[in-house]
């Protein structure tokens, strides 16, 4: 067989192995992720859905996305459904992202907190943990022995598991202020070379758990002085934004602060909060 024939055969095999995500199938997954997580997927996301779910078709050795859809929607498909959600949700974040919010926390919130009770923060879309760990570094630095605690939740169990470990690539080092880097981060050695580990005492102070923002939170969580809900509402339609914020507000103390991303807005979403700074609101 000539080299050209081998190339042609490989190309034919490649084309045969590619499974097309039909418009109808994409519409099914689009409706399902909206129903589960309130995430509105634009038509432009069809290639993303195709590529991220392709590995699950290979795992099950099936040749259509419709067959995979039937697996995740079957009565015994709960575990696979969570895998699908993990694959289709976006989890990009950084340490000390949107630094003006951390300046506001330092200058306006922490120093003016109510004394005599623990200072409590909920990072309600924490992704892989960079946001709550950034907050933990700041609280440990500024509050000394005063009591504080951070709750951190996300829809994806995969990123929650990663966050609990607190292990990150060393390319994240420039994101962390140098004093915090030396105090709260350990440089990986041996098999962990090229990584940094959040110090254990901080990892123990952050309580990670899985939570779907389209569901009512557990009342036993109590009230928080600050709620961070950043870089997640951009994936919701207006109705879902209203529902999510309405579910969270009962867990924010009177006088508490509600942070969203600078790319987001609560205009038309809620009139129960007053604006105090860009992307920062307060509950009267």
Taken as a whole, the chain contains a residue count of 284
Name the DSSP class of 271: S
CA-angle at 200, arms to 153 and 188, nearest 5°: 105
Active site residue 106: no
3-state secondary structure 6-41: HHHHHHHHHHHHCCCCCHHHHHHHHHHHHHHHCECC
- From the candidates 52, 113, 205, 282, give the one annotated as an active-site residue: 52
Is 52 a residue of the active site?
A: yes
Q: Which two tokens stand for residue 136?
A: 């933990």
* Residues 135 and 110: beta-carbon distance below 8 Å: no
Choose the catalytic residue: 154, 158, 225, 230.
154
DSSP 232: -
Please check whether residue 65 is in contact with residue 21, taking contact to mean a CB–CB distance below 8 angstroms.
yes
| Helices 23-37 & 65-72 angle (0-180, nearest 10) | 20
**Among all residues, which ones are annotated catalytic?**
52, 154
């Amino acid at each position: 067989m000539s080299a050209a024939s081998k190339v042609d055969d490989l190309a034919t095999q490649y084309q045969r192995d590619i499974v097309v995500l039909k418009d109808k199938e994409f519409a099914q997954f689009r409706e399902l992720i909206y129903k589960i997580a309130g995430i509105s997927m634009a038509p432009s996301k069809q290639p993303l859905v195709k590529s991220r779910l392709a590995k699950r078709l290979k795992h099950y050795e099936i040749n259509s996305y419709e067959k995979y859809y039937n697996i995740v929607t079957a009565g015994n498909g709960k575990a696979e459904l969570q895998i699908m959600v993990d694959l289709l949700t976006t989890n990009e974040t950084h340490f000390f992202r949107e630094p003006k919010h951390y300046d506001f926390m330092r200058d306006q919130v922490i120093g003016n907190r109510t004394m005599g009770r623990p200072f409590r923060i909920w990072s309600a879309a924490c992704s892989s943990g960079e946001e709550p760990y950034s907050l933990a570094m700041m609280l440990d630095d500024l509050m000394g022995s005063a009591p504080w605690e951070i709750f951190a939740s996300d829809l994806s169990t995969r990123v929650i598991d990663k966050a609990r470990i607190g292990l990150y690539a060393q390319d994240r080092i420039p994101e962390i202020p140098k004093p915090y880097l030396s105090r709260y981060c350990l440089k990986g050695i041996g098999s962990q070379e090229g990584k940094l580990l959040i110090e254990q005492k901080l990892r123990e102070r952050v309580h990670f758990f899985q939570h779907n923002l389209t569901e009512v939170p557990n009342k036993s969580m109590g009230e928080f002085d600050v709620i961070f809900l950043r870089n997640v509402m951009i994936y919701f339609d207006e109705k879902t934004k209203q529902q999510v914020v309405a579910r969270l507000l009962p867990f924010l103390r009177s006088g508490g602060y509600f942070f969203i991303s600078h790319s987001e807005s609560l205009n038309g979403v809620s009139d129960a909060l007053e604006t105090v700074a860009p992307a920062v609101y307060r509950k009267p």
